[in-house]
Amino acid sequence: MDIAQHYEQEISFNSPWLQFERTHFQKHQGNSSCDVAIVGGGISGIMTLYYLLTETDKNVLLFEQGRIASQASGNNAALACIHIERPIQELVEEFGIEKTRQSFLEVDQSWDLMLDILDRVGARSLLKPLPNISLAMSSKEVLLGHTGREKYNREFGRTKWHYYVDEKIDVAFDGVEIHRIPKEELLEKLHIVDDEFIAVAVPQEQLNLARLNSAEFCFAVIDFLSKHYSERFTIYEESPIARIKPHLLNEAIQADDIILCTNGYKGFEIFSETGARFDKLHNALTPREGYMAAFKDTREPYAQAFFDDRGRYKDSPYFYLSHIEQFTVLGGPEFDQPDGIHTQEKIAERALTSQEIYREFLKNSYNKTDCPFSHFWMGIMGYTSNGLRWVGQEPEIPGLWYNLGCNGIGITTSIGAAKRLVALIQGQKLPASLFDPT
């Protein structure tokens, strides 16, 4: 059986986050005009819509090429968290302490904004707390990377961590307290059997981390907006935007402002005022596929991440799990699509590779051999050239704005980003941020 047949017969993607009744929206036809056009109907687009409607009096049209929240926002690990993938100490070195502090402040505030929206739209029950959190580390180098963040976690008032290290490992870190414990105790803390891990970190206080189905959240927000602002917005599905010129989409839709909430997708062209093609965004984005699996299990709710730099698992230097209501979600393998090409055959190949990696990981870490996946799914993340989200105006194209580039984590952070963007679009002057488009 070749890979394509295998794909047809054995790999059917069935994200657990899209198993609910979803409203359909009409296709766009003819000519239109609006104050603001949003391109992309994932969580970034919906949160941008939310703030445009609740904080301005603008008329908004939102265009989605497929269905609302059916890409990354319906195919992720559903972990609401406030985090930037790049190490904090690296960001301080590159951008300076004040800009980094300001950006983490905004990221951290996203959590409260999310709670506020969940309450306002009556969807707080979608947020499911994850109380037991641990990070497993395979080497001194990985440990050093994590303890290096502590100085800034403390300085920026972020959650601090306890570090437990195998007593046989000789390490000392400035200003970070290390608890030395026997290996057996370490493995017990992690609930694993893989004795090659040498350290575990656990938060010293409650960490803002919870499970949130971001697709369901998008629909709850749309329901709310439909009740209160229906006269000021329209959502179109199956309405791809192929060409963007200043203030004009697809030669048919006029908009004072155009906001791209397109994650890592590049299936459109942008033109400048002179008519020249503008490729800056396309050149800056690398889409990356992430493959996820879920299985039934019985344990107390937990979230766990494994940072493994031993090269033991091809294509997966880390794994992350979350477990609630007897349902474990497992993430890890990721693959770049540098040319934007992802044929069905290639996806099938990577899906099979990912399943093999997951089985190996579950066997080595938990001694689990009989663990059928009830769900298996894949989503695309857009990585920008600087590894940071772009939130703000494109200086070279009048009226063009970005709220995109998930860079691995984007459920909660897209909310603070949408709020920032809507403040900027109203002409507010905000402190410089790591997210300003370069």
Instruction: Give the binding-site size for ligand FAD (rule: CB under 6 A).
Output: 42
In angstroms, give the least distance from the CB of 435 to ligand FAD. Answer: 13
When the beta carbons of 147 and 393 are compared against ligand FAD, the nearer one is: 393
Closest-CA residue to 398 (of 270, 226, 299, 268)? 270
Residue of the chain from 16, 45, 332, 399 that contacts ligand FAD (CB under 6 A): 45
Is 265 a residue that touches ligand FAD (CB under 6 A)?
yes
C-alpha pair distances (Å), 39 with each of 57, 346, 416: 19, 27, 18
Is 437 a residue that touches ligand FAD (CB under 6 A)?
no
Closest-CA residue to 413 (of 30, 185, 23, 107)? 107
Residues facing residue 78 across a β-bridge: none
Phi-psi category of 317—alpha, beta or left, where left has phi over 0 and alpha has psi -120 to 50? alpha
**Helix count and strand count (H, E) for the chain:** 10, 21
In angstroms, give the least distance from the CB of 294 to ligand FAD. Answer: 12
When the beta carbons of 201 and 381 are compared against ligand FAD, the nearer one is: 381
Stretch that binds ligand FAD, among 1-9, 38-46, 139-147, 420-428 (CB under 6 A): 38-46
In angstroms, give the least distance from the CB of 352 to ligand FAD. Answer: 17
When the beta carbons of 334 and 436 are compared against ligand FAD, the nearer one is: 334
C-alpha pair distances (Å), 7 with each of 2, 10, 305, 349, 356: 9, 6, 29, 8, 15
Residue of the chain from 15, 59, 76, 102 that contacts ligand FAD (CB under 6 A): 76
Is 182 a residue that touches ligand FAD (CB under 6 A)?
no
At 138, list the tokens: 């395979």
At 378, list the tokens: 């894949």
Stretch that binds ligand FAD, among 5-13, 36-44, 100-108, 358-366 (CB under 6 A): 36-44
Residue 308-337 contact track with ligand FAD, rule CB under 6 A, x = bound? -----------------------x------
Residues numbered 107 to 166 that lie near ligand FAD (CB under 6 A) are none
Strand runs labelled E in 238-278? 243-245, 248-249, 253-260, 269-270
Is 268 a residue that touches ligand FAD (CB under 6 A)?
yes
Report the distance separating Cα 387 and Cα 426, nearest Å: 27
Residue of the chain from 16, 50, 62, 65 that contacts ligand FAD (CB under 6 A): 65
Is 290 a residue that touches ligand FAD (CB under 6 A)?
yes
When the beta carbons of 121 and 165 are compared against ligand FAD, the nearer one is: 121
When the beta carbons of 139 and 254 are compared against ligand FAD, the nearer one is: 254
Report the distance separating Cα 379 and Cα 17, nearest Å: 12
What is the rounded end-to-end Cα distance, in angstroms, of the chain? 48
Residues numbered 399 to 428 that lie near ligand FAD (CB under 6 A) are 404, 406, 409-412, 414
Cβ pair 265, 287 in contact under 8 A: yes
Where does residue 277 rank: exposed (0-12), middle (13-18), buried (19+ CB within 10 A)?
exposed
Is 263 a residue that touches ligand FAD (CB under 6 A)?
yes
Contact residues for ligand FAD, defined by CB under 6 A: 39-45, 63-66, 71-73, 75-79, 81, 214, 240-241, 261-263, 265, 267-268, 290, 292, 331, 379-381, 404, 406, 409-412, 414
